[in-house]
Structure 1
Amino acid sequence: MRMNPAMALGACGFSLIAVCYGFARFAFGLFLPQIDSELALSASLSGLIAGGSFLGYCIAILLSAYLTERRGPRFVATAAALVAAVGMVGIATAATPVWLAVAVMLAGSSTGLASPPMASAVAATVRVSRQGVTNTVINAGTGAGVVMTGPVALLLGEQWRWAFAGFAIVAFALAAAVALSVPGVVKSEQPTGAGLPKLTGALKRLIAASFLMGAASTALWSFGGQLVTLRLSGEGVDVGTLWIAIGAAGLTGAFAGTWVARFGLDAVHRFFLALLAASIVMVGMPGTTSAWTLGGGLLFGAAYITLTGVYLIWGVAALSDRPAVGLMVGFLTIAVGQTLGAPLFGLLMDHVSATCAIVVFALLALAPGVARAGRVNALSEAAR
């Protein structure tokens, strides 16, 4: 049975996000021990790679929103798949640490390119009542990508080059599918020269909420492995297992649009912020167990992916005539929050205690709940 254009777009977008986030960006962390043993990465270079990946993401998402309005979503989405593929070819063939650093930055930047054109394509292809659902299904591709990398890492072990070569082949094939499924020029976008959006109250609250959530999420994205080692050393749970749990639960984020349409954006936002805070406590507090840690990973995956879906809906609704830019505002601010949150968590761990860091970041996870979506929430209720 032939899929209608909206279904084809959703499937293609889900796959694009899975490849760019799961393979091109997050798989590097899973294979880092094997890569380090072969290329002898220094701590300073590892830090440079991490910083370069963040910088690449920020530049790419700004460029993506700009190009989507001027060249159309097909061009930018196809470019995202190709950039991911070329970057992963670079990782697979890296002969030196510097070569690897450049390749990781290139591959990771594909995540910044991928999301804005999909938001624009959905706005042009899918009826208004289904746009929130479609956008959040696409966004949940992150969880699928993360889940798929875990078994690959376990099966291939030291053969990390073959793993990234395989990931690159998938990305090249996906570029062809994207070119066939994603619309080209979208007439509803603002004309060239539209410039930066006006900072309305809805956008200001979105920026504050997404920044705080992004900062809080680094407790597990950046320090989950250290916390597992600190609290559960020798008890059989490793960061790979936690990672698979996070990715599997992240698939539930596909229902974010359905939940927002049924319960309203503010209610969904606050509920999953509470789950995010609970997940940080379950993984990081003294006395935690393997079961609590895995449960915390499941809650974290569901909460994080759902919350990114909430901010996607929020941004697109706040800038309904410029959906690519609306998505960019929330996602860029999450990344900025993450880059500032990680060093803060590290400072608290080093100079106070891990328990203090966990308590502070659990409270930080609850803080965005004071930001009301306002008119955006009313729009989500009207779409029920």
Structure 2
Amino acid sequence: MAAAGFGLIAVCYGFARFAFGLFLPGINADLSLSPSVGGLIAGGSFLGYCVAIVLSAHFTERFGARSVSIAAALVAALGMTGIALAPSALWLAPAVMLAGSSTGLASPPLAAAVSIALPPARRDPANTVINAGTSAGVMLSGPVALLAGAQWRLAFAVFAATACVMAVLVAFTVPGPARAEARATDGAGLRHRLPVRLIVAAWLMGASSTALWSFGSELVALRLGWDGGEAGGLWLAIGIAGIVGAAAGRWVARFGIDRVHGVFLGALALGTVLVGIDGTTPALALFGGALFGAAYITLTGVYLVWGVSALPDRPASGLMVGFLSIAIGQAVGAPVFGVLMERGSAGLAVFVFAGLAFLALFARSAPVPRPVEARAGGGRVAIRFSRQHGTCQLHRD
């Protein structure tokens, strides 16, 4: 199940959502798109994600993880087929939005499936391993871009076929309705428990990340003269380094959310600057891409753990809160970056968006309660509350 979930995330996030930025220069050339129009279309992809992830959390709790996971793969296939066939911007925009919405459909059912299939102590590591599938998809899209060259339509046709294969795999591996558990709480209760600091941090990080996800290829084309195939090297660096984000759950358990959060927000900002700064070199750009990839996947893993721990009885909704906030930030950030780049300068846009990551440092997680100890008779009893897993353990000497 974890392997299939990893693959589904790779296809939906790496191919259906983030590969658009990799092929954007070639798409711009063929369809005569300006940077601002390209930014609006990229923002539409993130907007489709926002709508889909809310629906996905609801449908997962109602119909089970398997059905929604299959739907995510099929929606990705349909959207990428539309991109491959797009004759104009008017056709391209809804196809990109549809493809991007598949990512919103994919994440909540996988979080719910993990909560059903695994004991509490193994859920955070499994969730962050599945989440790291994004890196595999991004990493694979780089070589595809190198092989396809200017043939972006062929690349998206291959991606669509891969999504169809994933639909079959998740059908046999993800738990179905019979094993799903209904975790229903009233809407008011959910609103009262929403982690506001998580929402703010995820929103700012998401907005900051659009500098490379939506415009990384254009930045290296501007700074280094790279074409779409050469920009695939940047995507390869992002994808390879992002695999380290699979360890986010273990790092959070060892060092705490705030420490991991702060370190990788700094890495995200630095990586963005190294790729987009005037005077960058190929080595600095690739190193910046690697920093960005490791930081982004780790941070999404942090927000996943943060959200699920805040709503342990509704893991699909807990994931939805953090990932929806990221996507809203990206939906707003992509068109704003395009406008800044077109009317101001690429350097101004890069530094403004790197600064958004630093603002997210001020949103800190709630403190974890310390163990409560009491003496009973001749021994000692310690009650340890796990905020990550929503459990209490009783220890007696």
Fold shared per TM-score above 0.5: yes
Q: 1:286–1:355: 8 Å Cα contact kept in structure 2? A: yes
Q: Which residue of 2 aligns with 1:379?
A: 387
1:1-384 equivalence runs, <5 A: 9-39=1-31, 46=38, 49-95=41-87, 97-185=89-177, 186-191=179-184, 194-195=186-187, 198-200=190-192, 203-233=195-225, 238-346=230-338, 348-349=340-341, 354-375=346-367, 379-380=387-388
The verdict on how the C-alpha distance between 1:20 and 1:305 changes in structure 2, with shifts beyond 3 A counting, is: same
Shift of 1:362: 3.0
- The residue identity in structure 1 corresponding to 2:183 is Q
Tell me, in whole angstroms, the C-alpha distance in 1 between the residues paired with 2:88 and 2:349: 36
Residue deviations 1:138-189 (CA, integer Å, cap 9, x gap) = 1111110011111112112344343333222221121111111111235543
Residue deviations 1:262-297 (CA, integer Å, cap 9, x gap) = 211111111111211221232233443222111111
The verdict on how the C-alpha distance between 1:206 and 1:163 changes in structure 2, with shifts beyond 3 A counting, is: same
The verdict on how the C-alpha distance between 1:307 and 1:173 changes in structure 2, with shifts beyond 3 A counting, is: same
Q: Which has the larger radius of gyration?
A: 2
Range with greater deviation from structure 2 (354-363 or 244-253): 354-363
Q: Which residue of 2 aligns with 1:4?
A: none
Normalising by structure 1, report the TM-score.
0.87
Tell me, in whole angstroms, the C-alpha distance in 1 between the residues paired with 2:227 and 2:30: 28
Task: Tell me the secondary structure at the aligned position of residue 217 of structure 1.
Answer: helix
- Which is strand-richer, 1 or 2? 2
Q: Which residue of 1 aligns with 2:395?
A: none
Q: 2:43–2:330: 8 Å Cα contact kept in structure 1? A: no
The verdict on how the C-alpha distance between 1:43 and 1:270 changes in structure 2, with shifts beyond 3 A counting, is: closer
Tell me, in whole angstroms, the C-alpha distance in 1 between the residues paired with 2:388 and 2:54: 26
Range with greater deviation from structure 2 (9-18 or 259-268): 259-268
Q: Structure 1: where are the runs of 5+ without partners?
A: 1-8
Q: 1:202–1:376: 8 Å Cα contact kept in structure 2? A: no
- The residue identity in structure 2 corresponding to 1:81 is A
Tell me, in whole angstroms, the C-alpha distance in 2 between the residues paired with 1:364 and 1:204: 17
Tell me, in whole angstroms, the C-alpha distance in 1 between the residues paired with 2:154 and 2:354: 39
Q: 1:237–1:290: 8 Å Cα contact kept in structure 2? A: no
Task: Tell me the secondary structure at the aligned position of residue 190 of structure 1.
Answer: coil
Tell me, in whole angstroms, the C-alpha distance in 2 between the residues paired with 1:174 and 1:328: 22
Kindly report the root-mean-square deviation, in angstroms, between the aligned alpha carbons of the 2 structures. 2.9
Provide the identity percentage.
61
The verdict on how the C-alpha distance between 1:94 and 1:265 changes in structure 2, with shifts beyond 3 A counting, is: same
Tell me, in whole angstroms, the C-alpha distance in 1 between the residues paired with 2:113 and 2:47: 26
Range with greater deviation from structure 2 (168-177 or 98-107): 98-107
> How many pairs align?
374
Tell me, in whole angstroms, the C-alpha distance in 2 between the residues paired with 1:360 and 1:35: 26
The verdict on how the C-alpha distance between 1:196 and 1:162 changes in structure 2, with shifts beyond 3 A counting, is: farther
Tell me, in whole angstroms, the C-alpha distance in 2 between the residues paired with 1:236 and 1:289: 17
- The residue identity in structure 1 corresponding to 2:49 is Y
Tell me, in whole angstroms, the C-alpha distance in 2 between the residues paired with 1:291 and 1:56: 35
Normalising by structure 2, report the TM-score.
0.84
Q: 1:261–1:381: 8 Å Cα contact kept in structure 2? A: no
